[in-house]
Amino acid sequence: MKRLIVFLLIICLSEISFAQNSDLKSMVDSLEFIKTDTLNCNADLYWRVIVKGKAAIPFLIEKLSDTTPTNIKFHCKKTRLNVGEVAHFALTQIAEFPIYVITKIQFDVFTDRGCWTFYEYLFNNANKTEYRKSVQEWYDKQKGKYKPKRISKKDRSACQKLFGVNTYYHWKK
């Protein structure tokens, strides 16, 4: 009888876990439908994905090569962001992804408009598949080296405060 109860409990817990991951995947799959045109606090879905933290990372990495257009504007891009670019920005809100280490390309210049030269690489759709693959391979090897760090109240953005984002994952070499 005890074994049956334990067995049923394990099945129930695995179903709950699967449902949570399924819901998170659906949320990430819906990034293209964000109604607002910026990634500010009105981008509710974007921030609800970020709140999921480390659990969202694999789903966001999967989207890095998605060129489906969104309604989101970004001052460093002439056209609207695509899903892969939104996924990149969400990833960087959750955890540290050292671009040079991942891409083996140095991007250390900012334009007079405050735009990082990495964005030229990121916004070029021809780089999307390679970038996703590089991030995936790097994360698969490094995910155990991420350590959660609590973001102090004074360092949280207004959106982080509004949505309850209080943890950032730092990568330790």
Return the structure tokens found at 170: 């730092």
In a domain, 2, yes or no: no
Give the whole-angstrom CA distance, residue 3 versus residue 13.
Answer: 15
Report pLDDT for 7: 44
Residue 13 domain-assigned (yes or no): no
Which domain does 137 fall in, by range? 19-171
In a domain, 8, yes or no: no
- Chunked into runs of 10 residues, the chain (173 residues) has average pLDDT values of 49 41 91 96 97 98 98 96 98 97 92 91 98 98 96 96 97 88
Q: Would residue 9 count as lying in a domain?
A: no
pLDDT of the residue at 6: 43
pLDDT given at position 169: 97
Would you say residue 165 lies in a domain? yes
Q: Report CA 26 to chain centroid distance, whole Å.
A: 14
65 domain residue, yes or no: yes
pTM attached to this predicted model: 0.86
pLDDT given at position 38 = 96
**Does the residue 7 lie in any domain?**
no
Q: Is residue 12 part of a domain?
A: no
CA distance 80 to 37: 9
The pLDDT of residue 81 is: 98
Count how many domains the chain has. Answer: 1
As a whole number of angstroms, the distance between CA 49 and CA 55 comes to 9
Residue 38's φ and ψ, nearest 5 degrees, are: -140, 165
